Amino acid sequence: MCGIFAYTGKNGKDAGGVLLDGLLSLEYRGYDSAGIYTPESGSIKTPGAVAELRKKMPASFTGKSGIAHLRWATHGEPTEKNAHPHASGDGEIWVVHNGIIENFKELKAKLVVQGHTFLSDSDTEVLPHLVEEHLKKTKDFEKAALMALNEVRGTYGIALQYKGEPDKIIAARMGSPIVLGLGDGEHFIASDPSPILPHTKKVVFLEDGEVAIITPDGHSITKLDATKVNRIATEIDWNAEEAQKGGYEHFMLKEIMEGPDVIENTLRGRLIAEKGMVKLGGLESVATELAQIERIIIVACGSAHIAGLIGEYMLEEFAGIPVEVEHASEFRYRSPVLNQRTALIAISQSGETLDTLEAVREGKRRGALTLGIVNAVGSTIARETDAGVYNHAGPEVSVASTKALISELAALVLLTIFLGRQRLPGQGGMSEKTAKEIALALKELPNKVQHILDTKQKIEKIAKKYAGVRDFIFIGRKYNYPVAFEGALKLKEISYIHAEGYGAGEMKHGPIAMIDEHFPTFAIVPQDSVYEKNVSNIHEIKARKGPVIALATEGDTEIGKLVNDVLFVPSTLEMLAPILNIVPLQLFAYYFAKEKGLNVDRPRNLAKSVTVE
Ligand code: G6P
């Protein structure tokens, strides 16, 4: 997600230079626009890179303190006007923000009535206006900031500055990380320690619901209700690169570990569990057309295609709409038959994959309603589709997709509830009762994913045990049939060994011929409606001396007697099981490749965003 950085010092350092260098070390987080503010020189913003920002800054740009931002667009496209810092109407209060203000529409409407004018599409802009409003009454910056923060709902990591007290900066955290850097005559606020480390190793991590004030001479922390918080500073011994990875060895591991947060972020504000309803703002404009569609075609590449295959099972079972899933690279070159009652859904993390984009254009030419499930806000696919759902997974740095896939699946469940509830239960649609059940089970997923992540040492042990093999086959059925593809794809991508995903029921029609004591199988075998059938398939493999690792449901005491190694995941609804099962497979591939000493984050021959055919 976005990166924020703020500085205040009395050592004569140029805040402009300090802030720009800080932004450079936050660049790894991924961003689409940048901005900087000092009380002395005002703000400079630009779409694009920090290098562009540097070019735009006049030589006279100066300051002793300031705030800076890298934006990863969520509300509003990546343009200069939407870039941070955002200001109050009187230009006195400035803010940089990482997160989403969920009630910004209500707050904005109230402020407009009070005479405020807004210049951007960003949800963030309500914050400085709110502080301005409270400052008018209280004449106290700190109080005004607290009052404003108590009115907003959503997630934030922010830094606020008031022109009238230029050496003081206020930070606050709710959901988005904030760390304070404690230097000698200088203090810092940042989204992670990487921009702070060149100046000081002494840091304080804020917790949710905490507000901090920094000046050149010190810092103080309170809760949102102004009660004091005492926290001892910690010394960090990470280098800048380790800091960017949150202390993890690779981005891939960091991104897998973000799974619980990613699910929360995709669901946030969209699931009305008590009513069994889903609110998807990005689909409101086409809700009438969606109620009438008779067919869905999903186009995507790589892991996003696998998300689509799982989505097909969900949408057909719970929304009663026929679904086809195609590799975008195939779809665009054949002669598909579509009409206005067809919705073409493009799934893409980057929103820039050329084949997926061209499939969208082909769908449009043929008259389909085009939708996107896209992570990168303002990307080409997001702009060119008629409507869509953003995943809000934050930037993914590692080439092999992990957290983006989890968020795509969560978004597909939301879409399934949305479309299912538009249709009558008797005609393939979803009853309120079923929707409520799914909604409740969805809410439990972040904790269940965390539980799986907590078993990562066991997964590592098994991955190390098998890291010498040259071939692997992954098998599964029904919802976990595509999960088998993903297990194999992850292993291929980062460990370069031959791996295949197969339907467990298809083994006897060919692949079982390959099985011997040197050819292991990874069987995804949760206790679901096809459990018995899966177990029979495992028996067939064991009869040919094939080693088997099983991914099973916690409490299954039988499966361990049949296979060589078992990994357990918590139970959930059958349709949601892929979201859990994919996590240990990602970790398995990660540890397997790591054991082989390979470059996990940058596998050979692959690119993160494939913008060529
Ligand atoms: C590349 C990446 C994959 C990704 C695929 C689709 O091949 O290596 O991890 O799944 O592109 O990317 P997209 O950005 O469209 O989801």
Three-class SS string for 280-303?
A: CHHHHHHHHHHHHCCEEEEEECHH
- Helix (H) / strand (E) element for 506: namely none
Q: What is the Å distance from ligand 1's center to 324 Cα?
A: 20
Query: What values do phi and psi take at 269, rounded to 5?
Result: 75, 0
Which pLDDT score, from 0 to 100, does residue 29 have? 74
Distance 3 CA to ligand 1 centre (A): 24
Measured CA to CA, the distance from residue 550 to residue 581 in angstroms comes to 11
Distance CA 347, CA 405 (A): 10
Strands 387-390 and 369-374: parallel
Instruction: Check residue 329 and report its DSSP letter.
Output: H
Where is 38: in which H helix or E strand?
strand 33-38
Q: Is the pLDDT of residue 315 over 80?
A: yes
| Cα–Cα distance for residue pair 210/188, rounded to 1 Å | 16
pLDDT over 80 at 521, yes or no: yes
Which residues pair with residue 500 across a beta bridge?
473
Cα gap 262→285, rounded to integer Å? 26
Q: Choosing from 56, 364, 542, 608, which is the catalytic residue? A: 608
Q: Which pLDDT does position 612 carry in this prediction?
A: 65
Per-residue model confidence (pLDDT) at position 1: 58
Q: What is the length of the chain?
A: 613
Residue 46: predicted pLDDT: 96
The ligand 1 atom nearest the CA atom of 350: 14
Cα–Cα distance list, 559 to 422, 461, 552, 556 (Å): 40, 19, 8, 6
Express each pLDDT in 346-375 by its tens digit. 999 989 898 999 999 999 999 999 999 999
pLDDT tens track for 93-129: 999 999 889 899 999 999 999 999 999 988 999 999 9
Determine what percent of the chain is predicted with pLDDT higher than 90.
83
**Bridging pattern class, strands 295-300 and 342-348:** parallel
CA 572 to each of CA 414, 533, 552, 569, 581: distance values in angstroms, whole numbers, following the listed order = 16, 19, 12, 9, 10
Mean pLDDT of 273-294: 95
Q: Enumerate residues 6+ apart whose C-beta is below 8 A from 332.
A: 355, 358, 359, 362
In this structure, what token pair is assigned to residue 406?
A: 């989890």
- Look at residue 276 in the predicted model and tell me its pLDDT: 93
Mean pLDDT of 123-140: 96
- pLDDT band of 333, cuts 50, 70, 90: confident
**Residue 301 among the catalytic residues:** no
Nearest ligand 1 atom to the CA of 400 is 9
Domains and CATH numbers, the chain: 3-243 (3.60.20.10), 251-453 (3.40.50.10490), 456-595 (3.40.50.10490)
What is the rounded distance in angstroms from the CA atom of residue 361 to the CA atom of residue 299?
11
Spatial distance between the Cα atoms of 103 and 149, rounded to a whole number of angstroms: 12
User: Cβ(610) to ligand 1 under 6 A?
Assistant: yes
Q: Assess whether the C-beta atom of 194 lies below 6 angstroms from ligand 1.
A: no
CA-proximal residue: ligand 1, atom 1 (nearest): 608
Q: Which is higher by pLDDT, 458 or 333?
A: 458
What is the structure's pLDDT at 613? 60
Residue 329: CB within 6 Å of ligand 1? no
Average pLDDT of the segment spanning 399-423: 97
For residue 193, whether the previous peptide bond is cis, meaning omega lies within 30 degrees of 0, is no
The gap between the terminal CA atoms of the chain, to the nearest Å, is 28
Take atom 3 of ligand 1 and give the residue whose Cα is closest.
302
SS3 10: coil
> Would you place residue 177 in the very low, low, confident or very high pLDDT band (cuts 50, 70, 90)?
confident
The pLDDT value recorded for residue 468 is 94
* Residues 425-443 pLDDT 10s: 888 899 999 999 999 999 9
User: How far is it, in rounded angstroms, from Cα 193 to Cα 25?
Assistant: 10
pLDDT, tens only, 51-94: 999 999 999 999 999 999 999 887 778 899 999 999 999 999 99
Of residues 413, 442, 518, 529, the one with CA closest to residue 480: 529
Q: What is the pLDDT of residue 77?
A: 84
The two tokens of residue 391 are: 């995943």
- Contact 379 CB / ligand 1 (< 6 Å): no
**pTM for this predicted structure:** 0.78
CA 442, CA 538: separation in Å to the nearest integer? 30
β-strands 548-553, 565-569: how paired?
Answer: parallel
- Closest ligand 1 atom to residue 300 Cα is 15
Q: Mutate which of 251, 309, 348, 349 to test ligand 1's pocket (most atoms within 8 Å of Cβ)?
A: 349
For residue 239, is pLDDT > 90?
Answer: no
pLDDT band at 34, cuts 50/70/90?
very high
Please list, in sequence order, all residues whose beta carbon lies within 8 angstroms of the beta carbon of residue 482, skipping any fewer than 6 positions away: 306, 309, 310, 313, 476, 501, 578
Question: How is 112-172 classified by DSSP, letter by letter?
Answer: HHTT----SS-GGGHHHHHHHHHHHHH--HHHHHHHHHHH--EEEEEEEEETTSTT-EEEE
pLDDT band at 608 (very low <50, low <70, confident <90, very high): confident
Predicted pLDDT at 78: 86
> What is the three-class DSSP state of 603?
coil
Beta bridge partners of 388: 372
Q: To the nearest whole number, what is the mean pLDDT of the chain?
A: 94
Higher-confidence position of 416 and 177 = 416
**Could you tell which of 609, 611, 612, 613 is best to mutate to test the pocket of ligand 1, judged by most ligand atoms within 8 Å of the CB?**
609
What's the pLDDT score for residue 42?
Answer: 96
- 498, two tokens: 């031959």
pLDDT of amino acid 254: 95
Handedness of CA 338, 343, 345, 346 (dihedral sign): positive
Residue 523 confidence (pLDDT) above 70: yes
Question: Active-site residue 608, yes or no?
Answer: yes
The residue whose C-alpha atom lies closest to atom 7 belonging to ligand 1 is 302
Specify the range with the lowest mean pLDDT, choosing from 214-218, 239-243, 452-456.
239-243
Contacts of 241 (CB under 8 A, 6+ apart): none
Cα separation, 212 vs 214, whole angstroms: 7
Q: So what's the pLDDT on residue 607?
A: 77
Give residue-wise pLDDT tens across range 577-602: 999 999 999 999 999 999 999 999 98
- Say yes or no to pLDDT of 378 above 90: no
Beta carbon of 356 within 6 Å of any ligand 1 atom: yes
pLDDT in tens, 444-490: 999 999 999 999 999 999 999 999 999 999 999 999 999 999 999 99
The pLDDT of residue 20: 96
